[in-house]
Structure 1
Amino acid sequence: MWSKFRVLQKNKTARYGIPMLLLIVGGSFGLREFTQIRYDAQKIQRKLDPSLEARIKAQNNPVTLEEEYEKLKEVNLDNWKNIRGPRPWEDSREFQEQQHKLQAARQAKEL
């Protein structure tokens, strides 16, 4: 019995090939199980509360192109102002207050 084991130890196919094949085949089965767990977890997280889901479906009214065109007709696109937003390093509240003051001053000049 030991002589057969020693022959297998010296055979490179048995020594390196079989463990490699086991690793590849076993790895594919393992990866399949892990990815299945991942997709099952995503399905569980996607489930919504039935009342919330009903509200979302009620809000999804089909919008037609004609309705959107009518809304755009009512909007005055000639009198708009481009107002710069705050930079990441600027305080947004302070910047907004400054912009409101400038806009109020401009409106006062126009009147």
Structure 2
Amino acid sequence: MGSFSKTLNSFLKKKSIKYGLPFLLVVLGGSFGLKEFAQLRYQFSKVSVVRPEEMKKYGIEMKKPGEVTIDTEFEKVKKLDIDNWEQVRGPRPWEENIN
């Protein structure tokens, strides 16, 4: 019995076991703990679905799925005059908004 405790003590005194094992336990345990806390955040968040009748109440109308397509947007872009334009500098945050 004395030889077992002697080898166990010498094994536990190694630096890789003394410092490495607790480090690995904290890193791996922290990752699983963080996963659980993140899951709670999303599980109990107060996200609600906006219903169409609520949108109409505030004057917001949704477009029907067939109204906007890539082709209709491309036709709008083709009509734009991209050859004649003027570069206008936007106001800086510290400048007054002069229009």
- Superposition TM-score, scaled by structure 2 size: 0.51
What is aligned with 2:89? 84
Q: Which ranges in structure 2 are unaligned for 5 or more consecutive residues?
A: 56-61
Q: How does 1:29-44 map to 2 (within 5 A)?
A: 29-42=29-42, 44=44
What is aligned with 2:13? 15
Query: What secondary structure sits across from 2:31 in the alignment?
Result: helix
Deviation at 1:43?
Answer: 5.4
Q: Which has the larger radius of gyration?
A: 1
**What letter corresponds to residue 15 of structure 1 in structure 2?**
K
Q: Which has the higher contact order (CA 8 A, sep 6+)?
A: 1
Query: What secondary structure sits across from 2:37 in the alignment?
Result: helix
Q: How does 1:87-102 map to 2 (within 5 A)?
A: 87-91=92-96, 93=97, 96-97=98-99
- Superposition TM-score, scaled by structure 1 size: 0.47
More helix by share: 1
61 and 44 in structure 1: CA distance in 2 versus 1, 3 angstrom threshold: farther
| Cα distance between partner residues in 2 of 1:79 and 1:39 | 53
Q: Indicate the percent of aligned positions where both proteins have the same amino acid.
A: 23
Query: Alpha-carbon deviations, 1:20-69, whole Å to 9, x = none?
Result: 46414532123211233124424544x631225996xx558364221012
| Cα distance between partner residues in 1 of 2:7 and 2:36 | 37
21 and 9 in structure 1: CA distance in 2 versus 1, 3 angstrom threshold: same
Q: 4+ residue runs of structure 1 moved beyond 6 angstroms? A: none
What is aligned with 1:108? none
RMSD of the alignment, in Å?
Answer: 4.0
1:75 matched to 2:80: yes
| Cα distance between partner residues in 2 of 1:37 and 1:23 | 22
